Amino acid sequence: MSADIQIMGVVGLYLALSLFVGLRAGKGVSDSATGFVVGDRAMGGVLMYFVTGATIFSAFAFLGAPGWAWSRGAAAFHILAFGILGFIPFYFIGPAASRLGRKHGFVTQAELVAARLGSRPLALVMALVSLLAFIPYLALQMRGSGHVLEVLTRGAIPMQWGAALVYGVVLLYVWRSGVMGVGWTNTLQGLFMMVLAWTLGLYLPYALHGGVGPMFAKIAERDPGFLTLPGRTPDGGDWSWSSYASSVFVMAVGFSFWPHLFQKAFAAKSERVLRRTVVLYPTFQFFLLPILFIGFAGVGFDPPPEQADQILPHLLLHMDLPALVVGLFCAGALAASMSSGDAILHSAASIVVRDGWIVGFGRSLSPNAERRAVRLMLLPLLLVSYLVAAVFPVDIVGLLSYAYGPVGQLAPPVLAALFWSKATGRGALAGLVVGSMVTIWFSRFPLWPVHAGLLGLVANVLLLVSISLLGPHWGERFPRKR
């Protein structure tokens, strides 16, 4: 049996196991929108730990992060910086959202904000902004999985076909089991990634350089500036401190406000589970360190990969490793992609139906009809994201950085709805619209060396505060349970 067939056999077994776990996960959950979207609010500590950790530990971790370390050096450390800081606010906002969700039946972020600020159009705009962030983020995951299979098969399976295969599996178990399918597959994928990250992150530096210390010593001797913050730009120039710092800030601000992550506050069994999850979360960030070692291990490797995002599978295929080992590590990269992609897809469909149709347009659906609508919405969302992944040749971390710009604009209205009694729907809506437009404009036409999301946040907060101070105070406008 050839090595290629053995590798693909291992990957195929992993995909089959993920599908089996995902399909079984839906048993015992109520046949309703609440069961499909938030798992009847019954997720315990283990599921919450993995569904938050593995959800963020995505294709950018196994592919984009090593790619940045290999091509841009110290610039990759900003991934650790925003990840460490970003989840801290969830210790406070998660329990607050959970209490309101149980009291009023909320299952999405925008539904809560619209009710607290008394503005249905706000839910619709938040849904649109969420999709602006979700589409490139889901495309990132699909592109990552496609890269793995393309390199693994030496081009026999193009990126587009590889992404379609992997996300066909994701679609099946998310369709069948909803958030519990996401939770249990994330547990499987998280355990898999944790073991492989450290195994590969320590083995590659040892095999190629004699250890982690000698690896960095060789890099420093070859190119001292490569390991100096803030690192390099994609074209090889020096990244400015203003771009580096603003990128860390925007991504840290947006971290806790990703709708698919925020939504897990409504799924948790208790507030204690949420707080414990936040406290334990940094252990997942700890596994990003060996992932960066993988990229640094590839510095100077000949031949180099065609694209930076392909450094991990490229090294594996050119180091004469056993086929079983290569297959396991490539399956780990697919796990990283799928563990975020399934949560994003599930949450995006929930948001379109709940925040757009039900809250934004004020239309009613029965619990079973809502569940059917969420399932049907999975298909067009997956198709649009696939087209973005297939058509736009953007690097994986670049897609992630863009996605954080729009999602960061959700932070001011959410915080205002939870903690500021003078906030109004009019102020939140104006801030969100203008902040998002500013972010998108300066992402396309940069004017200063700062992340476009920072400029959007400044405009967002200024409008929210100034307009709210001129209007009525908020109250709980939609007190009914769903």
72 pLDDT higher than 80: yes
In a domain, 427, yes or no: no
Q: Which of the four pLDDT bands, split at 50, 70 and 90, describes residue 26?
A: confident
CATH number at residue 50: 1.20.1730.10
Least confident residue range of 3-7, 22-26, 53-57, 317-321: 53-57
Q: Which of the four pLDDT bands, split at 50, 70 and 90, describes residue 294?
A: very high
How does the average pLDDT of the chain come out, rounded? 86
More confident residue, 104 or 155: 104
| Domains: count for the chain | 1
Out of 23-32, 317-326, 386-395, 405-414, the most confident range is 405-414
Calpha distance 123→107 (Å, rounded): 13
Please check whether residue 66 is in contact with residue 292, taking contact to mean a CB–CB distance below 8 angstroms: yes
What pLDDT does residue 2 have?
73
pLDDT tens figures, 326-353:
888 888 888 888 888 898 899 999 999 9
What's the mean pLDDT in 12-39?
Answer: 87
Q: Which domain holds residue 125?
A: 3-393
What pLDDT does residue 478 have?
46
What pLDDT does residue 46 have?
83
Please check whether residue 258 is in contact with residue 89, taking contact to mean a CB–CB distance below 8 angstroms: no
What's the mean pLDDT in 57-71?
Answer: 80
What pLDDT does residue 30 have?
82
Indicate left, alpha or beta for 365 from its phi (over 0: left) and psi (-120 to 50: alpha): beta
What is the DSSP code (8-state) at residue 473? Answer: P
Calpha distance 204→64 (Å, rounded): 17
CA-to-CA dists, residue 44 to 38, 51, 180, 266, 394, angstroms: 12, 11, 11, 12, 37
pLDDT tens figures, 198-252:
888 999 999 999 999 999 999 999 888 899 988 888 777 788 999 899 988 988 8
In a domain, 30, yes or no: yes
Establish how many alpha carbons lie within 13 A of residue 200's alpha carbon, considering only the half-sphere containing its beta carbon: 32
In terms of C-beta distances under 8 Å and separation of at least 24 residues, what long-range contacts does 212-217 make, across chains too? Answer: 212/293, 215/293, 215/296, 215/297, 216/296
476 pLDDT higher than 50: no
What is the secondary structure of 239-252 as a DSSP string? PPHHHHHHHHHHHH
In a domain, 180, yes or no: yes
pLDDT tens figures, 260-283:
889 889 988 889 999 998 888 888
482 pLDDT higher than 50: no
What pLDDT does residue 480 have?
43
pLDDT tens figures, 419-474:
998 999 999 999 999 999 999 899 888 888 898 999 999 999 999 999 999 876 55
In b/e form, how buried is each residue of 192-217, taking b as 16+ CB within 10 angstroms?
Answer: bbbebbbebbbbbbeebbeebeebbe
CA dihedral (369, 375, 377, 381) in degrees, to 10, reads 170
Indicate left, alpha or beta for 178 from its phi (over 0: left) and psi (-120 to 50: alpha): left
In a domain, 330, yes or no: yes
Calpha distance 38→343 (Å, rounded): 11
In a domain, 424, yes or no: no
92 pLDDT higher than 90: yes
Calpha distance 134→367 (Å, rounded): 25
What pLDDT does residue 63 have?
75
In a domain, 105, yes or no: yes
In a domain, 446, yes or no: no
158 pLDDT higher than 70: yes
In a domain, 400, yes or no: no
Task: Name the token pair of 143.
Answer: 């592109």
What pLDDT does residue 55 have?
67
More confident residue, 187 or 405: 187
